[in-house]
Structure 1
């Protein structure tokens, strides 16, 4: 009974702590656009949309165990879907979001077919080829995509009733979309699909024996991942207001994968940390030198992988483990029984003459004067 009460109390404390954390995070997120300058608000908005893209990549790589170097292509597909709808068809901004998500989901389903027979480096090369040939293809489709010049569209404008500036309104809209996307990813991982992805990542043969359909869930992993990337690309068009093929080269795919690894694979908070890394490291190092972003980015990746092999999300646990190993452990006193005052596992030492195979002790006078077997009788002189 005491154990049940203790467990209920612990669960209640955890829920209260989680609720307080969510409330504090929501209050801080709501206060941000009114405290920082417009450019800093823009950077935070970019962090949020990159977090959406990385959360989708986390489903595929972190939890699905499949390597993808073509995530930037799905990002570009979502961005161009929104740009073409805004420029060619003059639709509203919010109407482009479900179209980009659905289109990239179907694109991911079709691209997930090669994943059924490929794995490891072979799958990575196939996905990389998709990211390589998409920018030249966008340049060739000039009547639709604008070619090398790209497309310039209107940014997301705040309504009159909001009383917010353009950067503040865009930040809040992207924040809402990012929150919904992260909650969807969290619930997806806790569902049957998420458990199937974890089983496939750990052992495909054992997962298949347990009834997990490999073809279905591998394809769905690509589809969900592509959908999140398409949503992030749509948000990118809203924030930047301009798309061009050169903005979505294969370097973007490599950068997104590096950001996820630095943030932490198979972690719910890893995409946020990785998005901040992708956004702020090149921006801060750009002030040092024009060639500094690439050098600093590479050196920081090496440093993070050395200090925190599981990413920034696993760094606090690693630090706690190191501190716990460094601290001296107090020696626990052995329990003693009240009857004898000795430890319960202690056994009394055997005394002389005890047991069937006991050896005689030197202090026993009867044994000292005893004659050995078969010895001649003693005389008086002896």
Structure 2
């Protein structure tokens, strides 16, 4: 009598205990980080809570840009434009249409999703530095577009739009800054979870294949055109949501707040945090939010020179970004045990 065929699927019991332990430790670490994040607003002052809220918004934007640049290999020097579109969408909806602040977040994301997808279609003909130059032009042009007379009724021209900071829902004993922090944290956790599921599965493998071996990926049946366009759109969606959250936190939007320097700052955050790393978005956001303030405290006369020194040090000590350094240290610790 023939024996039944041996299943090619490894049963859960065969999974090495060490790997299961590593997964458990990662979950515990993640849970501890979430607990710490929830405690911080109650032990810090309102200004620090406001800074952390902006850092969370930047982390969402950096995650979106990292999908495009780190995972898909498309260099963008103009993502500040999508941040501006998201911020202005939220501001206009709140100021002109009377939308509740929470309803403007998904709308801002969808508007940027459409804008990013449409921009990504012609950008399919461009690669490398040529794509970077096209996105750079978008970032340079955006402040002037927002100041144009035909849009002045909506955008407020050079004067911008003032937003009223929302209060916490009735019955929740939180200040405005604390509530906005938790509101932004909830969006960050949701979007990071979505990105983790996308990038750790088939979609993520396709994006990396297009980045590393585009011809081989196309030969294997990956539709590179649609993947590139959708990645641009999803990346813009994340950046637009971040722009809306940042605008609500700051309570003000103006064209001069979204210059090309913002786009460059977002790219710096991606590189410092770590390319093709989900956790790198958090490290990069903390860098671009707090390091300029530290540089200003060190030297009032030349803060940007100090900032440049920090950049050089980070790149010299951590060429693969903060996330790469953390991963290397964890690997060494696990091998030493």
TM-score (ref. length: structure 2)? 0.91
Report 1:200-239 matches (<5 A). Answer: 200-239=210-249
Q: 1:277 aligns with which of 283, 287, 308?
A: 287
**2:45 is equivalent to residue 37 of structure 1:** yes
CA–CA distance in structure 1, aligned partners of residues 26 and 334 of structure 2: 25
**What secondary structure, in the 3-state scheme, does the structure 1 residue paired with 2:27 have?**
helix
Q: Counterpart of 1:48?
A: 56
Q: Return the alpha-carbon distance in structure 1 between the equivalents of residues 78 and 23 of structure 2.
A: 39
1:270 & 1:21 partners in 2: Cα distance? 16
Q: Among 77, 91, 109, which residue is 1:69 paired with?
A: 77
Superposed displacement of residue 324, structure 1: 11
Matching of residue 106 in structure 1 with residue 122 in structure 2:
no
In the other structure, the counterpart of 1:83 is: 91
Cα drift, residue 160 of structure 1: 2.4
Task: For structure 1, list consecutive stretches of 5 or more residues without a partner in the other structure.
Answer: 328-382
Paired with 1:108 and 1:138, the residues of 2 have a C-alpha distance of: 17
Larger radius of gyration: 1
The one of 249, 263, 266 aligned to 2:259 = 249
Deviation readout 1:212-269 (Å, 9 max, x if unpaired): 1111011011001100000000101110110000000000000110111011001111
Q: For structure 2, list consecutive stretches of 5 or more residues without a partner in the other structure.
A: 1-10
* Larger fraction in helix: 2
**Is the CA contact (8 Å cut-off) linking 1:156 and 1:239 kept in structure 2?**
no
From 115, 128, 137, the equivalent of 1:120 is 128
- Find the residue that maps to 1:154 and give its secondary structure: coil
- Distance, in Å, in 1 between the alignment partners of 2:298 and 2:169 is 39
The 1-side partners of 2:35 and 2:161 are apart by: 36
Residue range with higher mean Cα deviation, 8-17 or 57-66: 8-17
- Asked whether 1:170 is paired with 2:180, we answer yes
141-150 or 155-164, which moves further after superposition? 155-164
In structure 1, C-alpha distance between the alignment counterparts of 2:273 and 2:15, rounded to whole Å: 32
State the Cα distance separating 1:61 from its structure 2 match: 0.3
CA RMSD of aligned residues (A): 2.0
Q: CA contact under 8 A between 1:105 and 1:226: conserved in structure 2?
A: yes
Q: 2:35: which partner in 1?
A: 27
TM-score for both structures, normalised by structure 1? 0.81
